[in-house]
Amino acid sequence: MTTDALVLDAAAQDLLFREARTANTFTDEPVSEELVQAIYDLVKYGPTAFNQQPLRVVLVRSAEGRERLVQHLSDGNKAKTAAAPLVAILAADNEFHEELPSQFPHFPQAKDVFFSERGVREQSAALNGALQAAYFIIGVRAAGLAAGPMTGFDAEGINKEFFGEGDHSVLAVVNIGKPGEDAWFPRSPRLEYDQVVTTV
């Protein structure tokens, strides 16, 4: 094990990666707005291309909002989402380029030079929004919470339900909270270093 080769101490490595798991049950302890803001204020520094920030987060807190969401989930995801203390819809804003003049100020022309075409923006928003979604999940773990990210849903249905104007595309739905009883499935295997890494 390479634990000692890393600057991050072993306890933090375990918290963020080795012992962190996708949770399937949660306690009823609420997740405060302040904690979610602290998570975002940490993970917003994750790198993206052109410093674009396409991630948009919808926090589903109301019973009405939960009902609207659950109807678009796969059957295996409905009950745990209905019971989770907080659910976040993570989406990519396909009009992220409008923010580039302020967020990429040393080359504000990037908005028009690289992202004038909708198809190019959608592809870039999907990739960089997914990066930001991964940072968000790590941030949830850093807050001492468990995340239950899911892609088992009707994306078109969620997009219409929550992003009717058509400028956002759902990436994932994430249940968030303290893990409950029997929260974990058995750990699935991972590929080893030599199966993944080559040198040229």
Ordered by where they begin, the domains of the chain are 29-180 (3.40.109.10)
pLDDT higher than 70, residue 1: no
> For the whole model, what pTM was predicted?
0.95
How many C-beta neighbours within 10 Å does residue 20 have? 18
Directed axis angle between helix 33-43 and helix 118-142, to 10°?
Answer: 120
pLDDT higher than 70, residue 93: yes
Tell the burial category of 47 from Cβ atoms under 10 Å away from its Cβ (0-12, 13-18, 19+): exposed
Ramachandran category for residue 182: left, alpha or beta (phi over 0 → left; psi -120 to 50 → alpha): left
pLDDT of residue 2: 67
How many C-beta neighbours within 10 Å does residue 54 have? 28
pLDDT higher than 90, residue 135: yes
Mean pLDDT value across residues 52-69: 97
pLDDT of residue 36: 98
Per-residue confidence band for 4, with pLDDT thresholds at 50, 70 and 90: confident
